[in-house]
Amino acid sequence: MNTVSRSFNPLLLSLLTALYLTACSDEQPSLSGGTRAESAAPAAVTSPSRGPAAIDQARYANAGAEPANWVNYGNTWNEQRFSTLDQINESTVGRLGLAWTVELGTMRGVEATPLIVDGVLYNISAWSVTTAYNAATGEQLWQYDPKVPPEYSRITCCGTVSRGVSAWHGKIIIPALDGRLIAVDAATGAVVWETDTKIPGQPLSITGAPRMANGLVVIGNSGGDVGSRGYVSAYDADTGEKVWRFFIVPGKPGVADGEASDSIMAKAAATWTGEWWKLGGGGNAWDGIAYDPELNLVYFATGNGSPHHMKFRSPQGGDNLFLCSIVAVDAGTGEYRWHYQEIPAEQWDYDCTAQPVLADLTIDGVVRKVIMHAPKHAYYYVIDRASGELLSAEHYVPNTNWSSHVDMATGRPVINPVAMPTTEPVLLSPGFGGGHTWNPMSYSPQTGLAYIPAHETYQVYSVGEDADFKFSLGRSTWVGGRANPDLRRELNQQMQAKEVGYLLAWDPVKQQEAWRVPHPHAGSGGTLTTAGNLVVQSTIGKTLSIYRADNGELLWEMPIDSVAPGGPVTYMVDGRQYIAINAGWNSAHVYGLDEGGVPFTYAPARLLAFALDATGVDLPPPPSPAELVPPPATRFPQAQIDRGEVLFSRNCQLCHGSNAIGGLKDLRYMTSDTHAEFSDIVLRGLRADKGMPKHDTLSEAEVEDIHAYVISRAQEDWQGGFMQ
In this structure, are residues 602 and 561 in contact, taking their beta carbons and an 8 Å threshold? yes
Whole-number Å distance between alpha carbons of 285 and 387 = 21
Amino acid making up residue 362 = T
Active-site residue (options: 319, 349, 351, 717): 349
Q: What is the DSSP string of 470-519?
A: ---TTS-------S-HHHHHHHHHHHHHH-EEEEEEEETTTTEEEEEEEE
Residues ≥6 apart with Cβ < 8 Å to 171? 17, 53, 183, 184, 185, 186, 192, 237, 238
Q: Is 562 exposed, middle or buried (0-12, 13-18, 19+ CB in 10 A)?
A: buried
Q: From the CB of residue 253, how many other CB atoms can be counted at a distance below 10 Å?
A: 13
Whole-number Å distance between alpha carbons of 78 and 440 = 13
β pairing state of 281-282 and 242-247: unpaired
Q: Is the dihedral of CA 124, 129, 131, 135 positive or negative?
A: negative
Strand order in the sheet with 576-583: 96-103, 606-612, 576-583, 569-573
Whole-number Å distance between alpha carbons of 602 and 587 = 10
Alpha carbon distances (Å) from 200 to 2, 84, 376, 446, 670: 11, 45, 31, 47, 37
Largest CA distance in the chain: 74
User: In 3D, which of 192, 186, 291, 178 has the Cα closest to residue 234?
Assistant: 291
In this structure, are residues 130 and 582 in contact, taking their beta carbons and an 8 Å threshold? no
Whole-number Å distance between alpha carbons of 544 and 62 = 30
- Residue 360 dihedral angles phi and psi, to the nearest 5°: -110, 115
Q: Is 576 exposed, middle or buried (0-12, 13-18, 19+ CB in 10 A)?
A: middle
Residues ≥6 apart with Cβ < 8 Å to 1? none
Determine whether 349 is an active site residue: yes
In this structure, are residues 659 and 652 in contact, taking their beta carbons and an 8 Å threshold? no
SS3 state at 711: helix
Known catalytic residues?
A: 349
